[in-house]
Amino acid sequence: MKFEHSIRGKIADFGTMVFSEFSRLFNEHRAIDLSRGFPHFKRNERLLTLMQKHIAEDRNHYLSVNGHKGLRKNIANLYQKYYGATYDGSTEVTITAGASQAIYTILSSMVRENDEVIIFEPAYDLYAPTVEVNQGKPVYVKLEQPDFHIDWSKVQKLITPQTRMIILTNPNNPTGSLLKAHDLQELHRTVNGTDILLLSDESLQFLVYDGYEHHSIANTESLAKRSFIVGGFGKTFQVTGWRTGFCLAPEDLMHEFRKLHQYIAFNVNSAAQFALSDYLEEGVDFKQIASEFEAKRDYFCQLLESTPFKAIPVKSGIFQPVTFETSVGYTDMELALKLIKEVGVAGVPLSAYVHDKTNYGMLRFCFARPDSLLEEAVEKLKTIDFL
């Protein structure tokens, strides 16, 4: 079937998300998928039991548009406990269809034509297309290597009267870097006295390793006042397909968010909200969960030692960036494609997360997989003779 008119959509310059492109390729070549970010090495039995219970008890219908009341309260309690921040569950917390919908809704309710939005790169690939579909302008700032930190003097030079928002990803995907207390002070200096809004994507917030601390925007009241904070449970509890995330914001900002949320999502996965609410209510040992992910990271990094890839263990998240010998001449994109087609392992090149496709000479592998799968992947990587 073909429409007889030529059509140019609103985000015509953006291609398919790198994951969709890579999924097609690794399915075709039957490669091991270490590219997509869905942890699946341990079933969360208690949470699955709660989900089954709520489906059986017929929590299968629309809920309040802003989300299950108890879940919102429990999320507010988490922010009180971990960050000392006070959010009112009824007016300042909204449950969303994953972090993705929260991000889409924030940007679509706040970004106007010609508004500038500062995005740090490498960046999770949802931000820029959503800014552009709302006629805003992404303003890119590269994170500084080797540890992918922010050079705040560069950010300060890019602030203009059109700057509407700064997007932070903390923990960062794909680099695994974390904001430090010093970053929040610099951020405060940068936005103080302006009406710039902040979007802090903290959806990997409970997966922080080696004793590092997660400094949420919620920690700093002067920043929290102008911030939308996005979180999620999909990765931490290994249920990414349930599509449940959340947004926190002061009441006035949340009021604007909800005006659009009601039309975009109306309501999200009811049974999952009941299950998550009960699960949080019972008390979750986030430290224990993080230590299980940390052990995965350690095991994967240890396995990588017998391959041509080098890894500095990440501080957070579920992805391990690796470097390779670039003098051989492959860009990271070329190497990622060669790995899928010839070696049978899928990772994502870091260049896929920058608008100008800068070659970082780095790939990103998801380590939150069963040991047997990691071992199988590494056996294949060991056979590489072209690096």
Ligand X SMILES: Cc1ncc(COP(=O)(O)O)c(C=O)c1O
Binding site for ligand X (CB under 6 A): 37, 98-100, 124, 169, 173, 201, 203-204, 232, 234, 240, 245
Residue 325 near residue 387 (C-beta atoms within 8 A): yes
Between 234 and 361, whose beta carbon lies closer to ligand X?
234
Nearer to ligand X, 204 or 248 (CB): 204
Nearer to ligand X, 99 or 271 (CB): 99
Q: How far is the CB of 19 from ligand X (least distance, A)?
A: 9
Least separation in angstroms between CB 81 and ligand X: 21
Cβ closer to ligand X: 134 or 175?
175
Is 104 within 8 Å of 124 (Cβ atoms)?
A: no
Across the chain, which distance is largest between two alpha carbons, in Å? 60
Residue nearest to ligand X as judged by C-beta position: 98
Query: Where does the chain have alpha helices with state H?
Result: 18-28, 45-56, 69-83, 98-110, 127-133, 152-158, 181-191, 221-224, 251-264, 270-282, 286-304, 332-338, 371-382
Shortest reach from residue 240's CB to ligand X, in Å? 5
Report the distance separating Cα 99 and Cα 228, nearest Å: 12
- Of 343 and 362, the one with the shorter C-beta distance to ligand X is 362
Q: What angle (nearest 5°) sits at the alpha carbon of residue 125, between those of residues 124 and 130?
A: 115
Q: How far is the CB of 268 from ligand X (least distance, A)?
A: 11
Closer residue to ligand X in complex, CB, 204/343: 204
321 contacts 364 by C-beta, under 8 angstroms:
yes
In the complex, minimum distance from the CB of residue 267 to ligand X, in angstroms, rounded to a whole number: 16
Compare residues 89 and 98 and give the one whose CB is closer to ligand X.
Answer: 98
CB of 158 to ligand X, least distance (A): 22
What is the 3-state secondary structure of 324-346?
CCHHHCCCHHHHHHHHHHHHCEE
Cβ(377)–Cβ(330) under 8 Å? Answer: no
Give the chain's end-to-end CA distance (angstroms, integer). Answer: 45
Nearer to ligand X, 173 or 269 (CB): 173
Buried b (16+ CB within 10 A) or exposed e, 246-271: bbbbbeebbeebbebbeeebebbbbb
Q: Helix (H) and strand (E) counts for the chain?
A: 13, 12
| Alpha carbon 338 to chain centroid, angstroms | 26
We find the least distance from the C-beta atom of residue 159 to ligand X, in angstroms, to be 24
Least spacing, CB of residue 68 vs ligand X, in Å? 17
